[in-house]
Amino acid sequence: MIILGIDPALSVTGYGVINFSQNRLLLLEAGIITTLPRQTLPQRLDKIYRAVSKLILDTRPDVMVLEKLYAHYRHPTTAYLLGQARGVICLVCARENIPLVEYAATRVKKAIVGRGLASKYQVQRMVANILALDTIPKYTDVTDALALAIAHNYIARSKI
C-alpha cells in the first residue's frame, strides 16, 4: 500500500510517500512545496494544487492522509489560510479519486511515539528510526507528513 502524507501550509507544505509491503515500511519520496509571500493567494494555491497533482501522478498513492485542522482562536487568519491550502489539496484528492483520511495531531503522535503530547523532536527521531533514515529531515513539515503516513499504516492495520 502506498500512502501519501501531507502537512499542508501556505508557505511550506511537507509531503512524504511511503510503501508498506511485505511487513516493511519503505520511504519512496519526501520533500516540500514552497510558495513565496510576494505571490498572490491564487498563485500560491495554484502552485500547491499543481505540485500535489504531479506528486499523485508520479507516485500513485492508494490513500492520502492529512492532519485534522486545528484552529486556535488567537490566530484566525492562520486557520483561514491553512484551510485554503487544505482545500486545494482535498480538491486534488477528489479529482484523482484517492481516499482521504484525516487524523488529529495527538492521534498521530500517539501512534508514532506512544504519547499524544510528544514533542516535535520526539516525532522526528521516531520517524527517522522507523524509516531507518541516516539523518533527520531538515524540515519538520516533512517529518510531520511522514508521521501522518506512518500513523495511518499503523492505525489501518490495527483495525484489520
CATH superfamily label, 2-158: Ribonuclease H-like superfamily/Ribonuclease H (3.30.420.10)
67 among known catalytic residues: yes
141 among known catalytic residues: yes
Domain ranges across the chain: 2-158
pLDDT for res 46: 98
Percentages helix, strand, coil for the chain, rounded to the nearest 5? Answer: 50, 20, 30
Catalytic residue from among 62, 96, 102, 141: 141
CA-atom Rg of the chain in angstroms: 15
Confidence of residue 69 (pLDDT cuts 50, 70, 90): confident
pTM of the model: 0.94
- In which order are the strands placed within the sheet that holds 2-7? 24-34, 12-21, 2-7, 63-67, 100-103
Residues 80-123 have pLDDT tens digits of 888 899 999 999 999 999 999 999 999 999 999 999 999 999 99
